[in-house]
Amino acid sequence: MPEPFVVIGGDAAGLSAASKCKRESPDREVVVFEKGQWVSYAHCGEPYFVKGEVDRLENLLSLTPAEIEERGIDLRRGHEVVAVDPDAGTVTVEGPDGEFEQSYGDLLVATGARAVTDPIEGSGLDGAFPLHGLDDAAAIRAFLLDPSEDALADVGGEDFVDRERVERFGAMTPPETAAIVGGGYVGVEMAEALSAHGLDVHVFQRSGYLLSPFGEAVGEAVAEELREQGVTLHLDEEVARLAGADRVEHLECAGGTALDIDLAVVGVGVRPNTDLLDGTGVELGEDGAVAVDEYGETSVAGVYAAGDCAEDEHTVTGESAWVPLGLTANRAGRAVGATVAGDPTTVGSIAGTAVVKAFEQECGRVGLLEDGARDAGFEPVGETITTRSRSGYYPGAAETAVTLVADRESERLLGGSIVGTDRAAVRIDTVATALEADMTVGELERADLAYAPPFSPVWDPILVAAKVLNGKLKD
């Protein structure tokens, strides 16, 4: 029997790998170490749990610990891996009963990423939260409750949740004014979540538009939507510090803007969790995420990395890229699980396909927009069109803005974005598929997309954008 397959991290990438390996190779011992109590959970649902659309924390679990163990996986919660020794083929683990060594045959590092809060002074104050984990979401929702309510009963997840934190925030006077530091997707989703509780919400964004990776057309539409929904935007405003005596009470920007607040969500980005690999010989890429080959194997044989802590190959550039997202983690984890079980499986490339909801607006982006394409050495040509989402005479037709970007010389499609209120987000998958197939704009223009009045105009918005961009390329 080979030494066990050891997995560090019990969420999307780690458990996808463990489950796949156990299914393909039932006799292989599979051990998963998770430092927290939560496993197999959906970060992505956290804003909707805060908003109240998701009722209880346990609804955000894909599998319970019992279900994972039923799969034959040796799951150890509350166990942090603190060192990796590839020469000895061991990891050092700190668990409830002290420190021990675990040997491995294959090792998967699936440690994810952590929220970056250090650029914002005072982000450790009570009432200032990152949103990266179910305990953060539980604490924020408890804080929003009236102290007369039973916070633990409201949030659920009693077997796993940080009870002390929930009870502490549940006992506090609920906040009335919230600052969201960072206008990325977490910031935008949290603006919607906190507005639903009647808070006066302010979003601070360092650059001139929200959702920067989605491009300007999306950012402007989202800004308009947030303002219409009563959110105050502070664009081109860099938050310098949060301040307060016991709790966060005040926010100050580098440019002098100041605001009294009683809740802050700091969503200024994430950083891959790779400290564990210092000194192991495992190479990191430019972004600090683990460099891997097409099978997710690192520079050290038998050591794999997948998910938010790892790079992948970019579909458009063919270069390594770090885009920490959910499907990427699940897919790469599953591929590594198959590979270590004896069925070599590639992790696939990533196009940075992402969607986000901003109140009524749905946004999508994929591939490279103009700035990214220029940085990658292309000569990008872009075009933004606005058209209807369904036949104009059919109820529910709404304006939809599509941006497509292509390379001038090869006419190859490089990326795109979309925004609109009527099923706009999922339309980005057409562009993602075209990128995967390396299509030119002309080829996309000739794609046989579906049409019927309730779903689309005769010319789908993506086809209209391709037609207009193709014309521009021919000029």
Ligand X SMILES: Cc1cc2nc3c(=O)[nH]c(=O)nc-3n(C[C@H](O)[C@H](O)[C@H](O)COP(=O)(O)OP(=O)(O)OC[C@H]3O[C@@H](n4cnc5c(N)ncnc54)[C@H](O)[C@@H]3O)c2cc1C
Q: Which active-site residues does the annotation give?
A: 44
Q: Which of 358, 354, 326 is nearest to 209 (CA)?
A: 358
Q: Which member of 60, 139, 180, 276 binds ligand X (CB under 6 A)? A: 276
Site of tokens 């942090």: 80
- Cβ of residue 355: shortest distance to ligand X, in angstroms? 7
Q: Identify the three-state secondary structure at position 356.
A: strand
| 14 lines the binding site for ligand X (CB under 6 A) | yes
Length of the chain: 475
The tokens describing 76, both together, are: 């150890």
Sign of CA dihedral 77, 81, 85, 86: positive
| 109 lines the binding site for ligand X (CB under 6 A) | no
Q: Which of 74, 84, 91, 57 is nearest to 19 (CA)?
A: 74
Q: Are 365 and 387 in contact (CB under 8 A)?
A: no
Compute the half-sphere exposure of residue 83: CA atoms within 13 Å on the CB side of its CA. Answer: 9
Distance linking the first and last C-alpha atoms of the chain: 65
What gap in Å lies between CA 315 and CA 327, rounded to an integer?
A: 15
Binding mask 316-355 for ligand X (x = CB under 6 A): --------xxxx-x--------------------------
Stretch that binds ligand X, among 43-51, 143-151, 407-415, 419-427 (CB under 6 A): 43-51
Strands 354-358 and 361-367: antiparallel
| 8 lines the binding site for ligand X (CB under 6 A) | yes
- Cβ of residue 183: shortest distance to ligand X, in angstroms? 14
- Cβ of residue 255: shortest distance to ligand X, in angstroms? 28
As a whole number of Å, the CA-based R_g of the chain is 23
Q: Of all helices (H) and strands (E), which one includes residue 172?
A: none
**Contacting ligand X within 120-149 (CB under 6 A):** 131-132
For the chain, the maximum distance between any two Cα atoms, rounded to a whole number of angstroms, is 71
| 184 lines the binding site for ligand X (CB under 6 A) | no
| 308 lines the binding site for ligand X (CB under 6 A) | yes
| 32 lines the binding site for ligand X (CB under 6 A) | no
Stretch that binds ligand X, among 7-15, 199-207, 340-348, 410-418 (CB under 6 A): 7-15
Q: Which member of 20, 22, 28, 35 binds ligand X (CB under 6 A)? A: 35
Q: Which member of 46, 192, 237, 460 binds ligand X (CB under 6 A)? A: 46
| 43 lines the binding site for ligand X (CB under 6 A) | yes
Q: Of all helices (H) and strands (E), which one includes residue 459?
A: none
| 33 lines the binding site for ligand X (CB under 6 A) | yes
| 296 lines the binding site for ligand X (CB under 6 A) | no
Q: Which member of 18, 29, 36, 334 binds ligand X (CB under 6 A)? A: 36
Q: Are 93 and 8 in contact (CB under 8 A)?
A: no
Q: Which of 150, 192, 199 is nearest to 174 (CA)?
A: 199
The strand pairing partners of 239, in sequence order, are 253
Stretch that binds ligand X, among 32-40, 165-173, 194-202, 382-390 (CB under 6 A): 32-40
Q: Are 402 and 384 in contact (CB under 8 A)?
A: yes
Between 13 and 253, CB nearer to ligand X: 13
| 467 lines the binding site for ligand X (CB under 6 A) | no
| 307 lines the binding site for ligand X (CB under 6 A) | yes
- Cβ of residue 77: shortest distance to ligand X, in angstroms? 9
Residue 75, CA distances (Å) to 31, 42, 474 in order: 6, 18, 58
| 102 lines the binding site for ligand X (CB under 6 A) | no
Q: Which member of 7, 12, 107, 120 binds ligand X (CB under 6 A)? A: 12
| 303 lines the binding site for ligand X (CB under 6 A) | no
| 11 lines the binding site for ligand X (CB under 6 A) | yes
- Cβ of residue 295: shortest distance to ligand X, in angstroms? 17
Interface size with ligand X, residues (CB under 6 A): 33
| 282 lines the binding site for ligand X (CB under 6 A) | no
| 452 lines the binding site for ligand X (CB under 6 A) | no
Q: Are 301 and 104 in contact (CB under 8 A)?
A: no
Stretch that binds ligand X, among 33-41, 158-166, 251-259, 436-444 (CB under 6 A): 33-41
How does 427-465 read in b/e, with b if 16+ C-beta sit within 10 Å?
bbebbbebbbeebbbbbbbeeeeeeeeeebbebbbbbbb
- Cβ of residue 322: shortest distance to ligand X, in angstroms? 11
Q: Please name the residues in contact with 24: beta carbons below 8 A apart, sequence gap of 6 or more.
A: 337, 338, 341, 342, 343
Between 203 and 253, CB nearer to ligand X: 203
Q: Where are the beta strands (DSSP E) in 184-343?
A: 200-205, 232-235, 239-243, 250-253, 258-260, 263-266, 270-272, 303-305, 312-313, 320-321
- Cβ of residue 323: shortest distance to ligand X, in angstroms? 9
Between 76 and 467, CB nearer to ligand X: 76
| 186 lines the binding site for ligand X (CB under 6 A) | yes
Between 292 and 468, CB nearer to ligand X: 292
CB atoms within 10 A of CB 290: 26
The residue ranges that bind ligand X (CB under 6 A) are 8-14, 33-36, 43-44, 46-47, 80-81, 110-113, 131-132, 186, 273, 276, 307-308, 324-327, 329
